[in-house]
Amino acid sequence: SAVISQKPSRDICQRGTSLTIQCQVDSQVTMMFWYRQQPGQSLTLIATANQGSEATYESGFVIDKFPISRPNLTFSTLTVSNMSPEDSSIYLCSVTLAHPTQYFGPGTRLTVL
Amino acid sequence: DAKTTQPNSMESNEEEPVHLPCNHSTISGTDYIHWYRQLPSQGPEYVIHGLTSNVNNRMASLAIAEDRKSSTLILHRATLRDAAVYYCILRDVALTQFYFGTGTSLTVIP
């Protein structure tokens, strides 16, 4: 199994600012995934982040709004840029360690005022 | 991605079996059926997965219809800790991404 931690666990931000969310895994993994879960909704995949290459974004998500870094095999960051209240969500990272099981972090609860 | 249909919510009495249905009439031959659950204030966790045959693990059983157009997640004895949203997800064997549907919110009544 994989143990995933995220920082911060929650934050309250002002509109127009940016927040960087960190995801740390206790094992080396090739692929990491970022999801968004809006209040009362299911999870939506934002992007897939492979180490050493550009992240692949899903339809409706763009790099300018959600830049992702993947500097090594155990770490990734997701930045939510120029935030608006509509960005208030839980952001989760996940990894695939032993296909096909996917492990999820505890999430970062973001509130934008 | 092939679509899944699940009831929005279900209730079960504690210590009774729970059968959570999932319809996936457009499933392809290379789609695996996965079940994840999300406990309150946590990230989703793996429950079980299968392709054609029924599967059992320590957490649950997965019953897959012969035509694979539907499946049922079976919790043999529901506990209060099983209260969660249960997601049925189809994923092609060649892919690594999971695309979540709306899921079933399970309430367990003491």
Q: Note down pLDDT in tens along chain B; length 110 residues.
A: 568 999 999 999 999 999 999 999 999 999 999 999 999 999 999 999 999 999 999 999 999 999 999 999 999 999 999 999 999 999 988 888 888 999 999 999 99
Which A residues in the span 1-60 are in contact with B, Cβ-Cβ below 8 Å?
4, 31, 33, 35, 42-45, 48
Whether residue A102 and residue B98 make contact (CB cut-off 8 A), yes or no, is yes
Residues of chain A contacting residue B31, judged by C-beta atoms under 8 Å apart: none
Burial B22-38 (b: 16+ CB within 10 A, else e): bbbeebeeebbbbbbbb
The C-alpha R_g of chain B, in whole angstroms, comes to 13
Please check whether residue B59 touches A, CB under 8 A: no
How confident is the model over A68-93, as pLDDT tens digits?
Answer: 999 999 999 999 999 999 999 999 99
Residue B81, phi then psi, degrees to nearest 5? -75, -10
3-state secondary structure of A36: strand
